[in-house]
Structure 1
Amino acid sequence: VPPPAAEPQPEALAAAPSVVADDAFQKIEEEEAPREMKSARARRSYNLDWRGDLGQWLYLREFAHSARMERKDGDRVDFAETLYWNAGVRTDAQTGVAEVSFAMSDSVTTFKAFAGAVGGDGALGSAVAELESVQPFYAEPKLPLEVTSGDAVRLPVALVNGTQATLSGASARVELKGDVKVTAGAPVDLASSARARQLFSLEIGQEARPVDVKLTANAGQFTDVVTRTLSIKPRGFPGRVSFGGLVSAKAPAVHRVVLPETVVPGSVKTSIAVYPAPLANMTESLARLIQEPSGCFEQTSSTTYPMTMAQQYFQTHTGVDPKLMADAREKLERGYQRLVGYETSEKGYEWFGQNPGHEALTAFGLLHFTDMVQVREVDTAMLERTRGWLMQQRDGQGGFKRNRRALHVWVEDADTSNAYILWTLLESAGRPAAQAQELSREVASLKAAAKKSTNSYVLALAANALALAGDTPEARALMDRLASQQKQDGVVGGATQSIVGSSGETLDIETTALATLAWMREPAHALNVQRAMKFIAESSDGGRYGATQSTVLALRAIIAYDKQRASRLVPGRVRVYVEGRPVGEPMRFDGSTQEALKLPDVSALLGPGERKLELRMDDGAELPYSVEVTYNTLTPASSKDTQVALEVSLAKAELIEGEPTEARVRVSNRTDQKLPTAVAILGVPGGLEVRHDQLKELVKRQVVDAYEVLGRDVVLYWRGMEPNKRIDVPLSLVAAVPGTYTGPASRAYLYYADEHKVWTPGLKVSIAPKQ
């Protein structure tokens, strides 16, 4: 809407249009409301408001809860907690009154309305009002968020009489579908405006899945129906056996699956997939990575970066599932909004958005946002701001500053950091050659450092950077050095330090992927590319390639490799065998196949001990595959190579409903070295609730750097740990729902070495109902 030449008159302002979102009644996005609101709807509109001081119209967003179209009397499933929000309500110029409208949710409770105002003369005002949602008679259950199979829940149900008369024979009935046994309660008489409480015993069976808990309450002529969801998780400790590689018609892929003797019956699940196209690998990566904690800039990128590259793939390939494309777009949008929130006030990016910005992490962000430009709109001013801030971090001697803010190996090695930042600046530049001229001192410095370096990770970065800078002879020389480091299995050896301080297979993946990206610039290294891609395919762990950096670089190599392949797939068939017996029908594929071939579940044929699993192909091209077997075991096995220790205990394990207790978490650095990015996850038993105010206080006191709560897991983050450091974290918990519960296993690990976890048994608690 173009602004008028002068400030509009009142009648013109009143007629200003309201710009409504694509669908005036659309499902609320998950980040705007808790999970209980998924069945609710809201009005999301943008009202136009004239700002005379700015000489332009402003869009002001409004959120208003709307009643369900299918709403029925006495049937309550919508428990939205936020009903209305608007940052730009304008009062009437004459009366000073403004009216807003919204629908109530199904909650019987008291809502608070907060209003803050600024007058035309700059005067400030605020007010708080209460809005009570009532019902003549209703029932209110108190459910734990999650429980473990085998738990026993004493479900409290409040029956409330909101009338002035006595209600005789008030009763409630709980209905569940699934492996849960329920004991009924006895009828009660409710006096005027009185409430009574009944306890229902829920015995949770072995079936682990979400179940709907339907509570029907009756009293005289009144009926109330409440439906809530109870999440049931499997007992024991999660374990996984995974394999990957290439299968062809020349030879079957054979693996020995060994499960512990203590595996929980019925907990074994298998996922076997063959990937005709890189898209299939990315689909697996999305499914896996989106479940990982995302408490900082880099961990949010672990989800959004693979989705960015998946969207690039969608643009150049047909036959992609539209639902998959839409889902990836939606999640990418949310990820982008979260990522830009980590920009510091002094510019640049940092793990938790705190000053000062971190040079190498900002370079990683610049590369990510540049790739994202190809698939969605990105704030160009932010991109220019980020690149400009990064250019200001040059030290004037051919390198980049490394401001030390916290213990983190991203800043330790000068050659590694300089090579990484320079590569990202050139890779993200619209005209790399022109950017290289401005960075001529840094390019020359990297060229000199690469000649002396014995770290093949630095060599791979330098080979890519010099190729982008137009120094083809020197880039080829580095590519040849990398080729001499490649082993028969495709791994590029000789890496000693990466930008994130990774080690083992994760470091191998990062280095090999970077070398592959360089080799693909020169046809003479086609054989090296083939070997490297075989290794990358075999490194897939359920669609994931180590940590964030290694996964991003592996997927970059996969996308680049796909762009170079001009030939179509040779049609064929693939089938799975267990102990020589075929399972299911052969899965066919041809040149048009884009998504992963999901082979049959063979979990019924697996159990304690060893089984032989084979993939056999008839005809067809050589394709990557992955095999993942998940299970639960009662005896956890911590990695012998873990560098952190974990101790978890409860101050008191026998509680009365409403009583507080404390979980004592101790995380220790077992080494005499500085460790980067430690993560500890406390598994909270089902009947206990965490106190978010106390968690926020722990961040404020710098006991932890960040936290998030995912189901019953409390995830704690640290940027790094001093040598031999012990960190004690007291976590306040409240006994919320009576019963006996076992929490999920607690664990600790380094983010860049998450294959080496230390586990502790799940906490147990018994909560007696209050009298």
Structure 2
Amino acid sequence: MTWRMGRVSSVVTVTPAPSLDYTLTPLSGDQYTSCLCGSERKTLSWTMAPSALGVVNVSVSAEAVTSQISCDNEVVSVPERGRIDVVTRPLIVKAEGTEVTNTYNWLLCPKGQALTEEVDIELPENIAGSARASVSVLGDILGRALENLDGLLQMPYGCGEQNMALLAPDIYILEYLRDTQQLTPAIRNKATNFLTSGYQRQLNYKDNDGAYSTFGAGPGNTWLTAFVLRSFAKAQTFIYIDPANIEASVTWLKRVSDEVTLSAYITAAFLEMNMYIDDPAVHGPVKASLSCLKESISDLSNTYATALLAYVFTLAGDMETRAHLLGHLDAVALREGGFLHWSQTATETSASLSVETSSYVLLAKLSASPTAEDLGYASRIVRWLTSQQNYYGGFSSTQDTVVALQALALYSTLVFSPEGSSTVTVRSPRGQLVFRVNRNNKLLYQEKQLQDVTGKYSLEVKGTACAAIQISLVYNIPTPAADTTLSVLVEPEADCTSKIPKLSLELTSLYSGKESSTNMVILDIKMLSGFVPDPESLNMLKGALLVDRVEQKEDHVLVYIRELQKDRRINHSLTLVQEYQVQNLKPAVVKIYDYYQPSDQSDTAYIDPCVTA
């Protein structure tokens, strides 16, 4: 605290506000009532023991009080104004271990009769009071994504593809709102601001020849360039896109030849832009690509490629080939209740790939004047897709989120009806919550906290409007010893006698899967409480082996590793510096995961060895 009263001295008492969220214990050496002369500064400390998780507001007041004692032989004074000052600061209290988020999603369309669902929510043991749950309701399946345009994924956004993962869904949602006459000036301004800033950021990843690369340096990335091209072409409706940027990317892509799925993706980009018809220079390459792709359909063992090809030939107007591909896809579809989806193989566990594959089937079904039967078939895919959405309205990774939201936007446009209303009732062991959905609040994000985290919940929707319902459950568990193809070994080292507490982390990353190498891998290093990364060490890490980028985000350091070779250990190091001491220090977690298959991940906990010594 600093006393700013010229040369006047006062006796000041400093008092923390009482709270149920924490306990502040005075330190024996501090005087909490003392003299303070003009412009003098004193520091007072407490030991804080939080008793609640989340954002805790800590308030402390300083008050000039009357006193019989003198300060430096001066009579103390109490000012008439400014006698009390109160400072409040937020403190984030996090649970130890690994955070787990489970979402339960339903899309219920009652059509006049009541629809009900039940779910029994259970928690694992050893979660140490960290569990919290909420229920949210929307009248539109794209409303959740609209609410979180700037953060559909809980993933880093430090490269060209990740920037596009922010930009592209924005376009599809804008198109949907425009086509259904729900686009208000406020939403348009918010979304176009995102688009404009995203467009400008993406130009940082553009090469002189029109291609785009992951980090703005190195060879052009074919998939990313096609992704940017198809997105910029659509964005032109809402913001200014320099035509020269589009033309340069088209010219670069025309020179590229690649394997089936990548060729199909590029062809889809041209077809979505209608360049097959409008641009004679593109007509030839697209026609040749379609001919080549048609030859590949003798082997339909790759379900993802088959779904993408079905969409491509739908856009090309080749109904015979489309029917053949969709017929095969229907035969290998996974059916469960009213849900319909696809996976690469019967044992495939990648939710991301299943979402992307199912989304391409949905796009193929809906992109050629769909019949009522097609819409009914599509609704079963939509029910499954919406059941996979995360808390923010996205999915697992960048690619599946972009394709799924494109498909959901198309479906929502085709089945949109401004009429109807519904009442949603959520019953729990200790009461019920009621939400109302109508034409005036279809896009309104309604969320309420659940008092009972566990137990049996029943949902009931009455009325004539669809309701998208999500129960979100968040809790922390002890860091699991996961058996995955990716792993990270963390070896902390420290000199416990040093006057400047430092901690060196030696990190060993390993891939042991069946492929020869991985995709891009993210190493997410969470700081111990009270520690920050050493700036010099952080700079050295940026130039380390296979490291393309390093970001610092709140109390995490994110390391982008280009790839890991099978069974080859890669070592990195990072030094942490202690800023302030924390009693009862808990372990922090280092996570390693495949950026494109986030389910392939592993967590490792570490602690300061001086704490356990």
How high is the TM-score relative to the length of structure 1? 0.67
The residue aligned with 1:598 is 446
- Percent identical pairs in the alignment equals 20
The residue aligned with 1:509 is 355
1:385 aligns with 2:260: no
SS at match of 1:721: coil
- Displacement of 1:236 in angstroms is 2.2
The residue aligned with 1:479 is 326
Q: Distance in 1 between matches of 2:116 and 2:255?
A: 55
Q: 1:531-583: per-residue Cα shift (whole Å, max 9, x none)?
A: 2222212222322222111111111111111221254454221111224x641
Q: Distance in 2 between matches of 1:766 and 1:180?
A: 26
Q: Distance in 2 between matches of 1:561 and 1:503?
A: 26
- Displacement of 1:320 in angstroms is 6.3
Letter in 2 for 1:716: V
Check 1:569–1:643 CA distance in 2 against 1; reply closer, same or farther (3 A cut): farther
1:731 aligns with 2:591: no
The residue aligned with 1:536 is 385
Q: Distance in 1 between matches of 2:304 and 2:547?
A: 32
Check 1:321–1:264 CA distance in 2 against 1; reply closer, same or farther (3 A cut): farther
SS at match of 1:720: coil
Aligned counterpart in structure 2 of residue 367 of structure 1, from 230, 254, 258 = 230
Q: Distance in 2 between matches of 1:735 and 1:432?
A: 63
Letter in 2 for 1:233: V
Aligned counterpart in structure 1 of residue 149 of structure 2, from 276, 283, 286 = 286
Aligned counterpart in structure 1 of residue 412 of structure 2, from 547, 552, 562 = 562
Letter in 1 for 2:203: V
Q: Distance in 1 between matches of 2:238 and 2:423?
A: 34
> Which has the higher mean CA deviation after the structures are superposed, 728-737 or 477-486?
477-486
Q: Distance in 1 between matches of 2:418 and 2:136?
A: 20
The residue aligned with 1:37 is none
SS at match of 2:142: helix
Aligned counterpart in structure 1 of residue 93 of structure 2, from 227, 233, 236 = 233
CA contact (8 A) 1:670 1:724 kept: yes
How does 1:730-749 map onto structure 2 within 5 Å?
730-740=573-583, 741-742=585-586, 744-749=588-593
How does 1:343-742 map onto structure 2 within 5 Å?
343-345=206-208, 347-393=210-256, 399-400=257-258, 414-429=259-274, 432=277, 434=279, 435-489=282-336, 490-493=339-342, 495=344, 504-520=350-366, 521-524=368-371, 525-542=374-391, 543-579=393-429, 582-584=431-433, 586-596=434-444, 598=446, 600-602=448-450, 604-607=451-454, 611-633=455-477, 635-637=478-480, 639-640=482-483, 642-652=484-494, 654=496, 658-673=500-515, 674-740=517-583, 741-742=585-586
> Which has the higher mean CA deviation after the structures are superposed, 664-673 or 507-516?
664-673
1:245 aligns with 2:106: yes
Q: Distance in 2 between matches of 1:638 and 1:324?
A: 44
- Displacement of 1:318 in angstroms is 5.1
- Displacement of 1:648 in angstroms is 2.5
- Displacement of 1:363 in angstroms is 1.2
Q: Which has the higher contact order (CA 8 A, sep 6+)?
A: 2
CA contact (8 A) 1:643 1:670 kept: yes
Check 1:422–1:225 CA distance in 2 against 1; reply closer, same or farther (3 A cut): farther
Q: Distance in 2 between matches of 1:528 and 1:436?
A: 33
Q: 1:241-269: per-residue Cα shift (whole Å, max 9, x none)?
A: 2222333445422222110222232x332
- Displacement of 1:420 in angstroms is 1.6
- Displacement of 1:529 in angstroms is 1.7
Unaligned runs of 5+ in 1: 1-137, 140-158, 394-398, 401-413
- Displacement of 1:287 in angstroms is 6.8
- Displacement of 1:517 in angstroms is 0.8
- Displacement of 1:192 in angstroms is 12
Q: 1:208-254: per-residue Cα shift (whole Å, max 9, x none)?
A: 20536668699999999896844313222312222223334454222
Q: Distance in 2 between matches of 1:582 and 1:515?
A: 41
- Displacement of 1:714 in angstroms is 1.0
SS at match of 2:134: strand
How high is the TM-score relative to the length of structure 2? 0.82
Q: Distance in 2 between matches of 1:710 and 1:701?
A: 19
Q: Distance in 1 between matches of 2:500 and 2:36?
A: 24
Letter in 2 for 1:735: Q
SS at match of 2:335: coil
How many residues are paired up? 577
SS at match of 2:425: strand
Letter in 1 for 2:116: P
RMSD of aligned Cα (Å): 3.7
Q: Distance in 2 between matches of 1:700 and 1:747?
A: 21
Q: Distance in 1 between matches of 2:63 and 2:218?
A: 55
Q: Distance in 2 between matches of 1:195 and 1:361?
A: 56
- Displacement of 1:372 in angstroms is 2.4
Q: Distance in 2 between matches of 1:765 and 1:328?
A: 48
The residue aligned with 1:98 is none
How does 1:7-22 map onto structure 2 within 5 Å?
none
Q: Distance in 1 between matches of 2:378 and 2:457?
A: 29
CA contact (8 A) 2:10 2:37 kept: no
Check 1:494–1:269 CA distance in 2 against 1; reply closer, same or farther (3 A cut): closer
Letter in 1 for 2:312: A
Letter in 1 for 2:122: V
Unaligned runs of 5+ in 2: 65-70
Check 1:227–1:582 CA distance in 2 against 1; reply closer, same or farther (3 A cut): closer
Q: Distance in 2 between matches of 1:526 and 1:326?
A: 32
CA contact (8 A) 1:276 1:569 kept: no
> Which has the higher mean CA deviation after the structures are superposed, 564-573 or 189-198?
189-198
SS at match of 2:547: coil
CA contact (8 A) 2:437 2:465 kept: no
CA contact (8 A) 2:530 2:582 kept: yes
Q: Distance in 1 between matches of 2:163 and 2:253?
A: 21
Q: Distance in 2 between matches of 1:341 and 1:760?
A: 34
